[in-house]
Structure 1
Amino acid sequence: MSSASRCRPWNVHRLPSAEAKVFLVTGGNAGIGYFIAEQLASTGAVVVLGSRDAAKADAAMTSIRSRVPGAHVRHLQLDVADLSSQKTAVEGLGLDHLDAVVHNAGVALDNPPRRETKDGHELMFGTNHLGHFALTQWLAPLLLAAPAGRIVTVGSFAARSERLDLRDLQSTQDYRPKRTYGRSKLAQMCFGFELDRRLRAVGSTVRSVVAHPGGALDSLTPSRPPVCVTTPGERLRALPAGLLVQGKDAGAWPVVRAVLDPEVRGGQLYGPRFFGLRGTPRREPVPPHMADPAVAADLWSTSGELTDTDAHLGFR
């Protein structure tokens, strides 16, 4: 790669070609996941939408095809929160390699009561973190079969102000929805950075990268009916907020860069340029509490026990 290409600024509206590549986006049928899928589809890649709801996935694929002529999109029946179904779901991909997975699917609850997954885990921690932790094991052979596979974990700005309580990861003792959500996203991000350390230790070609969307509001998001509909009135009322935050289409930009940019390296963090809340994507310094090796090692060990997952996640 020439020095000129290395210095060329990343342009969110002129993405590099990714023809012949295959990307899986969990939760790609709605929210930020939808816009990640739409933007990746514009590169010529095959984009697989991992979703438990076939009807919503069909609507998302119809919308993407209407905006990206010739888009190569397909659906994978996938419930990240149902650990026992993951192996069968991944086998249903029918692929010989996977260039990147975007660990995006998530749950955010605003009010009690505390809820649990089918496997008995607190719903947000079980879906956002444990589900993707376990899914990585089943995807490992496909990622290793790619020339330079990537695992992009989607975190949250909310994780900056949280700290993990390793004695109460599932909020059984003290459940506060917003805090539990922030901690579940922090767990995801800690996992992404720890995974990078472990991949490097074994000399793997797979990279683990973390990205977050900053502040992304529905009211600032362009309509993609029937996937999402924003009325002119909603957009008008949200204009003042647009000084600080952005829509979910822009929230997808850091994640898409983490997937596509050839300059991205494992262990890096990408987010919006301005205060980590809005703007074009850039590399950010990793906050120390997200990269603490001791905390990450404890989280990894506990996550493996809770999901009955191999400690190496298939990357030996």
Structure 2
Amino acid sequence: MPSTPSIPPWDVHRPPPGHGKVFLITGGNAGIGYFIAEQLSAAGATVVLGSRNPAKAEAATASIRARVPGAQVRTVRLDLADLPSLRTAVEPLGAERLDGVIHNAGVALDDPPREETREGHELMFATNHLGHFALTHWLMPLLSAAPAARVVTVGSFAAKTERLDPDDLQSRKEYVPKRAYGRSKLAQMYFGLELDRRLRAAGSAVASVVVHPGGALDSLTPSRPPVHVRTAGARLRGAPAALLVQGKDAGAWPAVRAVLDPDVRGGELWGPRVFGLRGRPRRERVWTHLTDASAATRLWDASRDLTGVDPGRLP
């Protein structure tokens, strides 16, 4: 019998070509989002940087074009904390279809006091979760127009030890910034998995995948001036940590694989290979608490009520 040809290992430095594909990256002007954009541009894809800061978005665009000759990259103003603005924010995309959106943007507050958006939502929960929930709804016509679009939600290892309080999703009773951040990322991950279940039930060709970057530090991230500048001192201080974690360029790998690898399937969780903290991307077993369908449904219903939209209802 002829032997089955072996599948070559995923090469993070030579992913499959993305020519002809269009991807939107929220928070694409800095951090992991910037490196997702740079790597997808290098693969030949058209990249749209979603950012609330036009000046930073233009700086990121210039950096990508300087490193990737012929890069097809543009920007769109996107403020995930401003829910009413998202309906019209997708209009400037200027695309007939969208092959993928990477929900990467996030806010992480380190200190009290608790902050709210103009609509009265806790800032991290609103930006990290509710904004992406609503944005997916408004993007669904463009995603559905592609032959096999993907919604990639970037979660966090910080969500692994957190649990949602369905009666206090916005941390009104108890506000601990790091805990509120972890719970907002957990809500994102629940959303990504529940979205895929609803898309499958509706017979949609759009798939939803959840990823996380592991441990990604600025001190281990290569310089991309003026987007990111790593000093010699920071490089030396961060060197010991490289045994356990990695830079934000490597933190981008799971998301890049999630949109470009044809073998990735909806409902999967992808993260770094080594203890979930560093290394090349691999598929992980979905964390036990993320398999709680009841919690996911309650979160979905609450998010639908808070945003006034339902991304699971297809156009």
Residue 161 of structure 1: SS of its match in structure 2? coil
Aligned counterparts of 1:118 and 1:218: Cα–Cα separation in 2 = 31
Aligned counterparts of 1:98 and 1:72: Cα–Cα separation in 2 = 14
Q: Is the 8 A contact 1:194 1:291 kept in 2?
A: no
Residue equivalent to 1:173: 173
Q: Is the 8 A contact 2:195 2:312 kept in 1?
A: no
> Per-residue deviation at 1:8?
1.3
Residue equivalent to 1:21: 21
> Per-residue deviation at 1:120?
1.1
Residue equivalent to 1:277: 277
Aligned counterparts of 2:192 and 2:23: Cα–Cα separation in 1 = 18
Aligned 1:244-283 pairs, distance under 5 A: 244-283=244-283
Tell me if 1:194 matches 2:194.
yes
Aligned counterparts of 1:110 and 1:290: Cα–Cα separation in 2 = 25
> Per-residue deviation at 1:313?
3.7
The amino acid that maps onto 1:4 is P
> Per-residue deviation at 1:119?
1.6
Aligned counterparts of 1:107 and 1:4: Cα–Cα separation in 2 = 45
The amino acid that maps onto 2:26 is T
> Per-residue deviation at 1:108?
0.3
Aligned counterparts of 1:175 and 1:106: Cα–Cα separation in 2 = 18
Q: Is the 8 A contact 1:141 1:314 kept in 2?
A: no
The amino acid that maps onto 2:260 is L
Aligned 1:56-135 pairs, distance under 5 A: 56-135=56-135
Gapped runs of 5+ residues in structure 2? none
Tell me if 1:42 matches 2:20.
no
Residue equivalent to 1:210: 210
The amino acid that maps onto 2:103 is H
Q: Deviations over 1:232-266 (max 9, x none)?
A: 11111111111000000000001110111000000
**Root mean square deviation of aligned Cα:** 1.1
Tell me if 1:151 matches 2:140.
no
Residue equivalent to 2:182: 182
Residue 197 of structure 2: SS of its match in structure 1? helix
Q: Is the 8 A contact 2:51 2:57 kept in 1?
A: yes
Aligned counterparts of 2:244 and 2:119: Cα–Cα separation in 1 = 39
Tell me if 1:137 matches 2:137.
yes
> Per-residue deviation at 1:91?
1.2
> Per-residue deviation at 1:110?
0.5
> Per-residue deviation at 1:4?
3.4
Fraction of identical pairs, as percent: 70
Residue equivalent to 2:5: 4
Aligned counterparts of 2:73 and 2:178: Cα–Cα separation in 1 = 33
Residue 4 of structure 1: SS of its match in structure 2? coil
The amino acid that maps onto 2:222 is P
Q: Is the 8 A contact 1:115 1:122 kept in 2?
A: yes
Residue equivalent to 2:161: 161
Aligned counterparts of 2:25 and 2:156: Cα–Cα separation in 1 = 17
Q: Is the 8 A contact 2:198 2:312 kept in 1?
A: no
Aligned residues: 313
Residue 92 of structure 1: SS of its match in structure 2? helix
Residue 209 of structure 1: SS of its match in structure 2? strand
Tell me if 1:315 matches 2:314.
yes
> Per-residue deviation at 1:118?
2.1
TM-score w.r.t. length of structure 1 = 0.97
Aligned counterparts of 2:229 and 2:181: Cα–Cα separation in 1 = 25
Aligned counterparts of 2:41 and 2:119: Cα–Cα separation in 1 = 33
Aligned counterparts of 1:278 and 1:123: Cα–Cα separation in 2 = 29
Aligned counterparts of 2:13 and 2:5: Cα–Cα separation in 1 = 19
User: Cα gap change, 1:176/1:263 in structure 2, threshold over 3 Å: closer, same or farther?
Assistant: same
Aligned counterparts of 1:173 and 1:3: Cα–Cα separation in 2 = 58
Aligned counterparts of 2:4 and 2:130: Cα–Cα separation in 1 = 41
Aligned counterparts of 2:207 and 2:160: Cα–Cα separation in 1 = 23
Aligned counterparts of 1:200 and 1:4: Cα–Cα separation in 2 = 30
Residue 190 of structure 1: SS of its match in structure 2? helix
> Per-residue deviation at 1:275?
0.4
Q: Deviations over 1:42-78 (max 9, x none)?
A: 0111100000111000000000011101000000011
TM-score w.r.t. length of structure 2 = 0.98
Gapped runs of 5+ residues in structure 1? none
Aligned counterparts of 1:174 and 1:240: Cα–Cα separation in 2 = 35
Aligned counterparts of 1:112 and 1:99: Cα–Cα separation in 2 = 39
Aligned counterparts of 2:312 and 2:155: Cα–Cα separation in 1 = 20
